[in-house]
Structure 1
Amino acid sequence: MATGDYDHLQQAARDHLWMHFTRHSSFEDHDVPIIVRGEGAYIYDAKGRRYLDALAGLFVSQLGHGRTELAEAAAKQAKELAFMPLWSYAHPSAIQLAERVAQKAPGDLNRVFFSSGGGESVETAWKLAKNYYKLTGKPMKHKVISRSIAYHGTTQGALSITGLPGLKAVFEPLVPSTFRVPNTNFYRAPQHGDDLEAFGRWAADQIAVAIEDEGPETVAAVFLEPVQNAGGCFPPPPGYFQRVREICDTYDVLLVSDEVICAFGRLGHYFGAERYDYQPDMITCAKGITSGYAPLGAMIASDRLMEPFLKGHASFAHGYTFGGHPVSTAVAMANLDIFENEKVFEHVLANQDAFRTTLERLKDLPIVGDVRGDGYFYGIELVKDKATKETFEGDEAEKLLRGYLSKALYDEGLYCRADDRGDPVVQLAPPLICDQTHFDEIEQILRTVLDKAWSML
């Protein structure tokens, strides 16, 4: 890119572009990173530098970058039908994708409601839960239970369900009637820290306690990710989801599996519920359904939840202009074709242990306290003292993560996330096409940067 063009983009970005979750003050004396193209597992900036995309954009780019088949599917659909809403009308690619997703979803999750993205899918699930119980004679069931530190989206309802007080404070008051229970962070287990299965049982049982505390007649749903993202990738202990399912059945509470990140291969299956063998009443998803080549989300519901809306004058008075967009659903169909034709999920399952083993090499560093996750979805927790698990807090965390790690990792050619929603972590979720060569590159860059970070403390 010519110097003049680059300088113009930098100034225009500073003057006009309001970036998401961004401290704009950080660009007073630093350039805005401008990514101009991608190829496979790599992205390239405006100066021609290459970076390994170890976060798949934002847990999105399952197939990596530059897949012409997906671009061609979008162009073909745009030529035929560029737009049509799903408001009392349908179009072929939405119908075909709904059928295909329903066939892959577990159990009787046969009804697919399309949205534009993950937060909208979560919003849809909560609204459906409340609407369903009102139609079935239980109008007081409206409350939601979710987990501490869990992130579920930025819309008013999804943010209310989110368990991160710092993200919510500036937008309060939010939607009332949401309550938190412990997550499954075994590394910092407050109970049963020496017994993973017992810890999982305890954590699940706290959902029953919360339902009893609020009154079963008022609780509509429990929202849980298969592997919790915020906090740094907390997998479920053995038996955890089976116990949650029992609790939800006992109290007639809907189990919503929030799979905005975990669905479509991130854990080696179409859905995380399949990997961990539990049956949700709804699944929320987005991101990997199109591998990021077009925006799309979905809420997948059981036949039972659809049944009241098939009678008389009832309708679910909810929708989005771009939900189920023809171009997006056509891209999703092509994306699923590639998943199957190239055996992408089988590749994840065949390589997931190697990914874990490669990241676990970093445990010899004094700053690495825990490596956790599943499939192609991992968090590395950073600590001041491995023996006591003392964490970085306040100014120390700020200096470590935003003062050093974020820029240093990027400068070394690794795009990932250094985050402190919960304790400080580095998060990794590379494209599903990655192999041992990419794992080694990730480990080597992390080793170099984390070693330097420790020496600076």
Structure 2
Amino acid sequence: MTALEENDTGTAGHTPAPSGSSLSPAAASAGRHLWMHFARMHGRDGANPVPVITKGEGMHLWDDRGRRVLDGLAGLFVVQAGHGRRELAEVVARQASELAYFPVWGYTTPPAAELAERLAHLAPGELNRVFFTSGGGEAVESAWKVAKQYFALRGRPAKHKVISRATAYHGTTHGAMAITGLPAMKKDFEPLAPGGFRVPNTNLYRHPEFDGDAEALGRWAADRIEEAILFEGADTVAAVVLEPVQNSGGCLTAPPSYFARVREICDRHDVLLVSDEVINAFGRHGYPFACTKFGFTPDIITCAKGMTSGYGPLGAMITTDEVIEPFLEPGVTFPHGYTWGGHPVSAAVALANLDLMEREDLYGNVLARADAFGATLRKLLDLPIVGDVRGDGYFWAVELVRDRHTRETFGAAERELLVKRFLPGALFDNGLYCRPDDRGDVVVQLAPPLIAGQAEFDEMEQILRHTLTEAATLLD
């Protein structure tokens, strides 16, 4: 089989070992026993083996065939500080030797308590209370449950609905999936938790009637949120959930005025505003929390991924003092939690990671180089297959089109060929790990570790140029 291998993740690709060679033990075991996430598994123990990543160092990954590949996705929007940071690994070992585990179910550990205080200081406004989870989907799930109970404790139990944006991805648990705006991802698991409703997103490229006027699109899209609140009944809506830069659909941005308008709408109708920053937080846009950059203060932040740079699993929901106030009344409990939430090893490495990011000024690196990253990727606009390049910070998408003049996207067969079969393997074979994705329109996403500089930007652009030229030829 060639690089046209099947891979549903859009985040990795791998061609088979040369004819006559045997699979590595890891690939053979995975083909027989591993149930992979978001991936097709047919034939993985044969000519189409599971890709095996064996090592990471700085900006690069190595596979079990010894190939070095540039990590253009920070693992999965996670590895902010880069791979192979020995100082972070040593923190993991020290904390595990001292106290490997204890829950925060009515108790705490020094790392969990210290990290909660640290996140409260980093978050804007009065977002001072931190609820730890294992990851991002659990943080979103927790936010919806908090919003429901918050209004119930205030004597308004009918306020339970949540509004999110079309194409947005917020997680795979039943509650988070009900907030997700991707019907194809949900159809096999319906019925989901009731109460999720969708409004338009801020994809300027797919709204040509606004003629590139982001402010006008922002006003229109924000007004659709108020329209939905009024249509459902403000006395039934608990929360609006949005990402500062929307991941699914391809790094969809909005002007700060959009978020300010949404904040006003939520205040007017007594609705909690949730900023889902599972991807956006911890430097991806040059700030600890992206809502700060985009000029709004939510009632709840959900975060995960870059908090530990991937050196331990951890997520969090952060709320304002006002949100937690009714939960502090005598006899009140939030009957919700996770075994691994606030894990002391993960909390300890998160603290060390935040120290490292500040010491090496990774926030400043993103702010200083983000424009250059975008400008380098925009060179690809001379390719007929490239329709748009958009994003912010170290989070960009290249949208691919069938016809750049009409902005026509691809049909089902072409998407299958591009996103599932050709691009993942071809990009990896050419030396770049990134994310082809068609949950909305067809895009390739780039989100490198925050240590990346111009040399890496240039390498990404050159590999993309070569691979996308191949893709266009293949389609022809």
Name the TM-score, length of structure 2 as normaliser. 0.94
| Equivalence map 1:281-292=2 (5 Å) | 281-292=299-310
1:358–1:443 contact (8 Å) kept in structure 2: yes
**For 1:401 and 1:231, how far apart are their aligned partners in 2?**
14
**How do residues 128-167 of structure 1 correspond to structure 2 at under 5 angstroms?**
128-167=146-185
Structure 1 CA distance for aligned equivalents of residues 470 and 342 of structure 2: 47
Structure-2 residue corresponding to 1:12: 29
1:256 aligns with 2:274: yes
Instruction: Compute the displacement of 1:10 (Å).
Output: 2.3
Specify the alignment match of 1:453 in structure 2. 471
- Report the counterpart of residue 192 of structure 2 in structure 1: 174
Structure 1 residues 156 and 83, CA, compared in 2 at 3 Å: closer, same or farther? same
Give the secondary structure class of the aligned counterpart of 1:23. Answer: coil
Out of 75, 87, 92, the residue aligned to residue 74 of structure 1 is 92
SS in 2 for 1:95: helix
> How far did 1:9 drift?
2.3
Query: Structure 1 segments of 4 or more deviating over 6 A?
Result: none
> How far apart are 1:25 and its partner, in Å?
1.8
The residue that corresponds to 1:397 in the other structure is 415
Counterpart selection for 1:189 from 199, 207, 213: 207
Q: 2-side partners of 1:5 and 1:322: how far apart?
A: 38
Residue 445 (structure 2) aligned to one of 427, 431, 434? 427
Deviation at 1:403, TM superposition (A): 2.1
The CA deviation string for residues 355-389 of structure 1, in whole angstroms up to 9 with x for no partner, is 00100000000000000000000011000111100
Gap change, CA 1:293 and 1:383, over 3 Å in 2? same
Aligned letter for 1:93?
Answer: P
Give the deviation of 1:191 after TM superposition.
4.9
1:109 aligns with 2:127: yes
Structure 1 residues 166-245: aligned runs within 5 Å: 166-189=184-207, 191-245=209-263
Is the CA contact (8 Å cut-off) linking 1:224 and 1:258 kept in structure 2? yes
Q: Give how far 1:315 is off.
A: 1.1
Q: In the TM superposition, what is the alpha-carbon distance from 1:193 to its structure 2 partner?
A: 3.6
| Whole-Å separation in 1 of the counterparts to 2:211 and 2:33 | 50
Structure 2 regions of 5+ residues with no counterpart? 1-16
Give the SS at the match of 1:25.
Answer: coil
- Give the partner amino acid of 2:369: N
- Alignment partner, residue 323 of structure 1: 341
After TM superposition, list the pairs within 5 Å mapping 1:59-70 onto structure 2.
Answer: 59-70=77-88
The CA deviation at 1:31 is 2.1
Distance (Å, rounded) in 2 between the aligned partners of 1:393 and 1:265: 36
Q: Cα deviations across residues 132-180 of structure 1 (Å, max 9, x unaligned)?
A: 0000111100000000000000011001100000000001010011000
Q: Is the 8 A contact 1:193 1:199 kept in 2?
A: no
Distance 2:342 2:207 in 1: 41
Partner of 1:35: 53
1:22 and 2:14 equivalent? no
Partner of 1:334: 352
The answer to whether the 8 Å contact 1:184/1:237 transfers is no
Identity score, percent: 61
Distance of 1:150 and 1:6 partners within structure 2? 38
1:192 Cα offset (Å): 2.5
1:270-309 correspondence runs (5 A): 270-309=288-327
Give SS of 2:42's match: helix
Q: 2:431 aligns with which of 383, 397, 413?
A: 413
> Measured at CA, do residues 26 and 263 of structure 1 come closer, stay the same or move farther in structure 2, by a change above 3 Å?
farther
Counterpart of 1:444? 462
Looking at structure 2, the residues matched to 407 and 4 of structure 1 have their Cα atoms a distance apart, in angstroms, of 19
Could you tell me whether the CA contact under 8 Å between 2:28 and 2:49 is conserved in 1? no
User: Would you say how many aligned residue pairs link Structure 1 and Structure 2?
Assistant: 456
Is 1:91 the counterpart of 2:91? The answer is no
Looking at structure 2, the residues matched to 367 and 84 of structure 1 have their Cα atoms a distance apart, in angstroms, of: 52
Contact 2:24–2:64 at 8 Å: present in 1 too?
no
Q: Partners of 1:287 and 1:65 in 2: how far apart?
A: 14
Contact 1:191-1:199 within 8 A present in 2 as well? no
- Give the deviation of 1:404 after TM superposition: 1.1
Write the distance in 2 (CA, Å) between the matches of 1:213 and 1:394: 34
Quote the offset at 1:452 in angstroms. Answer: 1.1
Matched, 1:343 2:333: no
Kept in 2, the 8 Å contact 1:221–1:255? The answer is yes
Q: Which runs of 5+ in 1 are unaligned?
A: none
CA distance in 2 between counterparts of 1:274 and 1:235 reads 15
Query: Is the partner of 2:331 in helix, strand or coil?
Result: coil
Shift of 1:238: 4.0
Q: Secondary structure at the match of 1:129?
A: helix
TM-score of the two chains, using structure 1 as the length reference: 0.98
Distance 2:245 2:212 in 1: 21
Aligned to 2:140: 122
- For the residues of structure 1 that align with 2:291 and 2:336, how far apart are their CA atoms? 26
The 5 Å alignment of 1:334-373 reads 334-373=352-391
What amino acid sits opposite 1:135 in the alignment?
L
Q: Which has the higher contact order (CA 8 A, sep 6+)?
A: 2
Which of 247, 253, 259 aligns to 2:265? It is 247
Which AA in structure 2 matches 1:99? E
